[in-house]
Amino acid sequence: MLITGKIVIVDDEDMVIKTLKTLLKIEGFSNVNIFNDTDLALEYIRENPCDLIISDFIMPKMNGIEFLSKAKQIHPDTTQILLTGYADKENAIRAINELGIFKYIEKPWINDDIILNIKNGIERTRLKSQLKNKIEELEVANSKLEEYSKSLEEKVAERTKDLNVSNVKLNTILENLADGLVMFNSNNVIVQSNSRAKEFFCINENQSSDAKKDTLCGKNFFELIINEKDKKIDKNEKTLRDFSIIDYRENKKIPVEINLADVKIEDESYKIALIRDITFQKENERLRDDFIATLTHDLRTPLLASINALDFTLNGELGNLSDELKELLSVMKKSSEDMLGLVNALLEVYRYESGKLFLCKTHFSLNELIEECTKKLEPLLRTDNLRFEFTATASFSNDNSDITINADKNEIRRVVSNLLGNAIKHSKKDGTIKIGIATDKKDVRVDIIDFGEGLSKEDIEKLFKRFSQGTSKKRSASTGLGLYLSRQIVEAHNGQIFAKGEPNQGCTFSFILKNAIVEKQVV
């Protein structure tokens, strides 16, 4: 087997050279270069890197130590072996110490020993070469790492600077917001707030600046605001209305609107509340509503006078009228009555919104009230051949007995009439409008079910809002105040009103009056 590795042997004795060459050939070394002249050997070494140099100590032109010293200058990493006689042993040891020669071998040598040293020398050269390459690679990698580290430091410094600027901008924006901003945790405990929020909730104006800084942290947010209508707050609500806070400096309430947003910071859930002072908006709404109320109130007198005059004329008090004139005056009277209904509805809405309407609660039969409403509306059923029908309801427990409740009879009559009129308007010909009454302890629910055109999800979301006509399919001649006023009335009774339905599958309108039942009378 041929062994790789370039070997250079320098010796002036032919016998030594032939012996080494033969021995190395037998051991499988194929690349052996023999020289008996040191100058020729140095010239060869300059042009040909080698793995091992073997040199005799005593030679004519220069001794082995001088030769190996010059060879080492040419190829510092090449392994060197010095052949010496016994008398030169001391010089060989000095060469090892000074030049870093790998080994010295005394003549005559033992073949196995010299072969082992030659193999170890070649392997040493290769390992040194590999180590040198690795060191060079490591130096290159270190250089790149230093460049990257320097670049990274510059980027980090630049990014840190940008973040600091952004933080300063963000803090400036938050601190100078016209609205108050607080962040509270899942236990509603405030953990951070801006300057405007501190102004909102400032309890003691004489506090030091350090004390004011921590006034809000650790307090329960919902204990600092006033729920004007005592409504239950849904955890998913995004906007809170009908809330206020107390300005202790001027001893007055400040109406506010609160917008909530959910955030997560390091797996912790928080809410951010943006608190807006809506005093100005409330005052504008009040002025607007006062104007509308005054205007509509002043319209009632001329409208009533016009209706009475038309009614007086139609009754023939001013003489006989032709059929064409009677029809014309009837249309005028109907238009005036519709206008009066709109005026009255606007006035009722204003009274509820302004808090100027006080419920006059009495005990009355809910069954009888519904019967009164159905009888009053029966003439409207004839056009499309509709009919009313009392039916069992799906939820709550159905109750066929006469139910006495404590509520404002006139206002509940208005709600039932509005819902029945709405069902008549949207029912199909020859259809049935079902009315159900159900009870649960002291709560009572009324269901009014029609099988008409139904409602989409988008339409249901718009119901019970002011001037909403209940459907996006067509525009009717209604004012859009009936369902809104019904909601105001039911909520004034601490109740709920809602609707459900699907397109072309009818609709169910329901309202619940809580703690309204005072007694039951079995019919």
Q: Say whether 271 sits in a helix, a strand or coil.
A: strand
Instruction: Compute φ and ψ for 106, nearest 5 degrees.
Output: -80, 145
Q: What's residue 296's pLDDT?
A: 63
- In terms of Cα–Cα distance, which of 118, 38, 102, 92 is closest to 70? 38
Q: What's residue 392's pLDDT?
A: 47
Q: What's residue 475's pLDDT?
A: 39
Low-confidence residues in the chain, pLDDT < 70:
1-3, 86-88, 202-215, 289, 291-293, 295-300, 341, 344-357, 391-401, 466-480, 519-523
Instruction: Compute φ and ψ for 55, nearest 5 degrees.
Output: -130, 140
The span from the CA of 449 to the CA of 433, in Å, is 6
Q: What's residue 476's pLDDT?
A: 45
- pLDDT tens-digit series, residues 337-353: 777 767 766 666 666 66
Q: Give pTM, 2 decimals.
A: 0.46
Q: What's residue 513's pLDDT?
A: 92
CA 306, 300, 349, 447 dihedral sign is: negative
- 23 neighbors 115 (Cβ within 8 angstroms): yes
